Structure 1
Amino acid sequence: MISFIFVVAGTYLALAGIMYVAQRNFQYFPQHSARTGFEEPGKFGLDGFVAASIETDDRETLVSWLALPPKPDVPVILYMHGNAGTLGDRAERFGVFHREGFGVLVLSWRGYGGSTGSPTETGFIEDGRAALKFLQQKGIAASRVILFGESLGTGVATQLAANPDTSPLAVILEAPFTSAADVARTRYWFLPVDLLMKDQYRSIDFAPKVTAPVFVFHGTTDRVVPYAQGERLYEAFTGPKEFLRMEGNGHIDPLTEVSWGAIKDFLKANGAAPD
């Protein structure tokens, strides 16, 4: 019996050790080969967009697509994508934003389609800051920027919005989590996730510090990020906010007349839509 206990304990510790060392391989899923993001945005039917490189303070180079606002003082959507796919997979959304009169900047995270580096939480926050700095160099202050976070990108958007130095005009969060650790715990319930996980994206801790208006929408049948986490994070925001329950939707479904219409109405009500 004692030998059996030692074998089980040793196996468990070995598994925990492997998960700790290789955890980012389990957490991030960058796509490098197909539709890498090197392509010009015009190849995806995005009129008015140009490809641009963004340099981060830690010397990474990020692929980005930019559509400048059609006139001064128009809001700019800074889109922060989720954990899979590339910019080309989201081109339809970007076109909608631009046709509705918004300026748009979308960036490919470090380690993802066309960008240098490797994914980490601190790295992604640096990427977001670099994108805001890039816009500032174009004459677009953070106070004119709408942060649109998708899934993993909501963790970055929430942290940036909580910083008074980068406080945006508004925040849109699609399928957000309370923390990446909470998501991981639903899958790796047998491991001490809070002790092992390096990149936890603890949005629940940053949410109360966000003063900008926040719009949250989440599918009720989301199997990647539990719907209940989106509700709980929403409750943690203390400023102007709105929640849209997407009945029967999964994880990151296409924008619809209902979802995009609700977002536009929210932005207009909070002074964050084009005139």
Structure 2
Amino acid sequence: MKKRPSILDRLHALPKRKIAKWAAVGYVAVVIGGAFLGAEIALRSKTRWVKGTFVPVGRRGNSVFLPASPETLSRGVIGMVPIKPNRGHALLGEAKVVGTLVRREILRERGRIPDGSVAWASTFVYNGTPSQLGVEFENTSVATDVGNMPAWFIPQLHGAAASERGDAIAIVIHGHGGQRAQALRMLPTLMDSGVASLFVTFRNAYGAPRIGKGYLTLGDQEADDVLHALDWAKERGFKRAILYGFSMGGNIALCAAQRQDRWPLPVTGVILDCPALEWRDVMYSQGERYGLPRFLAGPVARLTELIVTRRSGQNFDTVDQLAAAPKFTLPMLLFHGTRDRTIPVRQSDRLAELRPDLVEYHRVEGAKHIRCWNISPKQYDEALLRFIEKVLPGVKRD
């Protein structure tokens, strides 16, 4: 019986020109397909939900037992919110694997999370509004040239009379495709510091007005919405402010920080958590993250930039904060995790290297993207308090 040729034998039998032709076609297809997908994500990404996972909860005393998943196994603190009809919230400590389950101790609890309930578990800890922390707040909006941007306002001295409130406010800016709830982990410390907080949104983010084709500008035009948030703060009687940006929100904060001629009140410092500082490098690293070899990741990133620029007019030089580093004048508090696969930690390494005179850098070992607080909440909060006291001297601690 004649042996059938194997696939390798057939490949060896193909003419080399034909192989090269199909390899070239495959290469071009991957580059074009990857670039168009990357451009769509860069221009439009937004989500209605805070990232997390729904899990059944087993409870024994102060311990909860959860099925193993990337979220429940994550290093550091996570949060858990039971779905209706149960109400409550729990802050859970470090994970310990027990057989096929993950055990975490309850560090803090509001309400009651019963045994047998189903809950949302997440490294973002909270998925609601400040009321999830028992904090009273005001649903408000920031008037801009392109519409009203939803915001949460938390007074400076909680429950104090207006005449007793201080003069400082933190403008808190979420990231690309993010939600205001992702920064609620830091709200207790902001309140302890004595500053008021305004958690803002920006054009074309979830819940905010859609402008034109709904394209994001990676920090440039969104910075105008933050400048209007400073107008809002001035109208409320605040005299000085700090900017607090997460991921792309960090780029927005730095764009706004460079437009001093448009500040309605002084900005005295910037806090950055895993900031996107150079978008070309982000696009390249995302290609590598999803398995593209270097000879493909580079062309995909360059073509993505061209497509984004063609579709939206985006100028990548305008949002290149590493190139702009020599122009910075404000002190900065910078956090970045070494396991960040969204924004490479090398970007923050470089910013700290370029401006050691301005940047207080906390490089958090093992932290994923905007999860630095989870690894060591106490150290993060202490650094936050020290920085606020430094750049806003005289702020009255609550």
| TM-score bracket for this pair, using the shorter chain length | 0.7 to 0.9
Change (3 A) 1:119 1:194: closer
Aligned mate of 1:185, from 284, 304, 314: 284
How many residues matched?
269
Contact 1:218 1:230 survives alignment (8 Å): yes
Contact 1:41 1:50 survives alignment (8 Å): no
Is 2:256 the partner of 1:168?
no
Amino acid at match of 2:274: A
Task: Give the number of the structure whose residues are more often helix, by fraction.
Answer: 1
Amino acid at match of 2:299: F
Amino acid at match of 2:200: L
Change (3 A) 1:21 1:123: farther
**Secondary structure of the residue that 2:149 maps to in structure 1?**
strand
- Measured in 2, the distance between the counterparts of 1:235 and 1:145 equals 26
- Measured in 1, the distance between the counterparts of 2:232 and 2:128 equals 19
Contact 1:67 1:104 survives alignment (8 Å): yes
**Secondary structure of the residue that 2:39 maps to in structure 1?**
helix
- Measured in 1, the distance between the counterparts of 2:22 and 2:147 equals 46
- Measured in 2, the distance between the counterparts of 1:27 and 1:13 equals 21
Is 2:337 the partner of 1:244?
no
1:81 Cα deviation from its structure 2 partner: 0.8
Aligned mate of 2:320, from 199, 202, 227: 202
Contact 2:189 2:384 survives alignment (8 Å): no
Is 2:263 the partner of 1:263?
no
Q: TM-score, normalised by structure 1?
A: 0.83
Kindly provide the CA deviation profile for residues 105-156 of structure 1, in whole angstroms up to 9, marking residues without a partner as x: 0112323332111342243122212212211222224xx1111111111111
Q: TM-score, normalised by structure 2?
A: 0.59
> Alignment identity in percent?
22
Q: RMSD in angstroms over aligned alpha carbons?
A: 3.1
Kindly provide the CA deviation profile for residues 80-110 of structure 1, in whole angstroms up to 9, marking residues without a partner as x: 1122442234323224312432100011232
Contact 2:337 2:372 survives alignment (8 Å): no
- Measured in 1, the distance between the counterparts of 2:249 and 2:234 equals 21
- Measured in 2, the distance between the counterparts of 1:74 and 1:179 equals 33
User: Where does 1:222-241 land on structure 2 (aligned, <5 Å)?
Assistant: 222-237=340-355, 239-241=357-359
Change (3 A) 1:40 1:16: closer
Aligned mate of 1:157, from 253, 267, 270: 253
Amino acid at match of 1:184: M
1:216 Cα deviation from its structure 2 partner: 0.8
Aligned counterpart, 2:148: 61
Q: Which runs of 5+ in 2 are unaligned?
A: 1-16, 52-126, 158-163, 288-296
Change (3 A) 1:250 1:18: closer
**Secondary structure of the residue that 1:205 maps to in structure 2?**
coil
Is 2:131 the partner of 1:32?
no
Amino acid at match of 2:155: L
Kindly provide the CA deviation profile for residues 179-233 of structure 1, in whole angstroms up to 9, marking residues without a partner as x: 1121111224232255444354311133322211111111112111111111102
Aligned counterpart, 2:136: 48
